[in-house]
Amino acid sequence: MITRDLLLDILKNIAAVIKDNRQFLTDLDAAIGDGDHGINMNKGFKAVEEKLDTVRDKDCGTILKTTAMTLISTVGGASGPLYGTAFLKAAMVVNGKMEIDNEDIVKMFDEGIQGIIMRGKAKRGEKTMLDALIPAYEELMNSLKDGSTIAEAFNKACKAAYDGVEYTKTIRATKGRASYLGDRSIGHQDPGATSSYLIIKTVADTLNR
Ligand code: ADP
Ligand code: MG
Ligand code: MG
């Protein structure tokens, strides 16, 4: 179960982790893209953090919808609309709810991924954020089915996301700016997969505190 206060903590912690990794994400994007992923994500989550105060007493759906709209309007580049759509789809699952149960979490994760696929038309194996998110989702779902607590399930999902980031080093990008490099994108980890891993890790770390 994730209470509204825990959700607010998670979002605040994501903003802090993205800020700390801003240069790292930008360096990864400089190697195979245009070197702005850390800048884009930090701008977006800094704006989200500033908005949180205005929705502190609202339901989880409103908090996440505000997060989504803020990301869409402040993050330049491909990642803004993609993460924004993911948060928007997740928000709709918990519309009006003051807390999020395990069933909601699985559904939010699934809806979020479907939103990214709808918007970006990518699939697994194209060296994008989906290569971290889809394995993490599958691991989360299976762990919960096997009786893990939500905190344990996110730890396992985090490990799967990490492996997904490692996998992006071995493949060629066929979506986004990195696809312009063709085979020269091989050997580099995808910045978006890396930010997705960091987001999942932050959820795991916050739940395990
Ligand atoms: P831009 O490439 O427009 O500068 P960012 O640098 O912020 O945007 O984000 C790049 C990341 O976005 C990539 O590393 C990749 O993970 C993700 N991405 C790009 N295009 C797609 C897509 N069509 N579907 C899913 N993810 C994508
Ligand atoms: Mg970029
Ligand atoms: Mg850009």
CATH number of the domain residue 144 falls in: 1.25.40.340
Which H or E run includes 52? Answer: helix 37-55
169 vs 173: CA distance, rounded Å = 10
Domains of the chain: total: 1
Each residue's pLDDT, cut to its tens digit, for the chain (209 residues) gives 999 999 999 999 999 999 999 999 999 999 999 999 999 999 999 999 999 999 999 999 999 999 999 999 999 889 999 999 999 999 999 999 999 999 999 999 999 999 999 999 999 999 999 999 999 999 999 999 999 999 999 999 999 999 999 999 999 999 999 999 999 999 999 999 999 999 999 999 999 99
Q: Are 121 and 168 in contact (CB under 8 A)?
A: no
User: Rounded to the nearest whole angstrom, what is the distance from the C-alpha of residue 29 to the centroid of ligand 2?
Assistant: 6
Domain span at residue 16 reads 2-207
DSSP readout, 92-118? HHTTT-SEE-HHHHHHHHHHHHHHHHH
Q: Is this model's pTM higher than 0.95 or not?
A: yes
Q: Whose CA is nearest to atom 22 of ligand 1?
A: 120
User: Rounded to the nearest whole angstrom, what is the distance from the C-alpha of residue 176 to the centroid of ligand 3?
Assistant: 10
Which amino acid belongs to residue 192? G
Question: What does the block give as tokens for 161?
Answer: 């996301």
- What pLDDT does residue 76 have? 82
Phi, psi of 51 (to 5 degrees): -80, -20
Q: How far apart are the first and last CA of the chain?
A: 14
Q: Is 148 helix (H, G, I), strand (E, B) or coil?
A: coil
For ligand 1, say whether the CB of 82 is within 6 Å of any of its atoms. yes
CB atoms within 10 A of CB 125: 14
125 vs 70: CA distance, rounded Å = 29
E strands of the chain, at which residues?
Answer: 2-3, 99-100
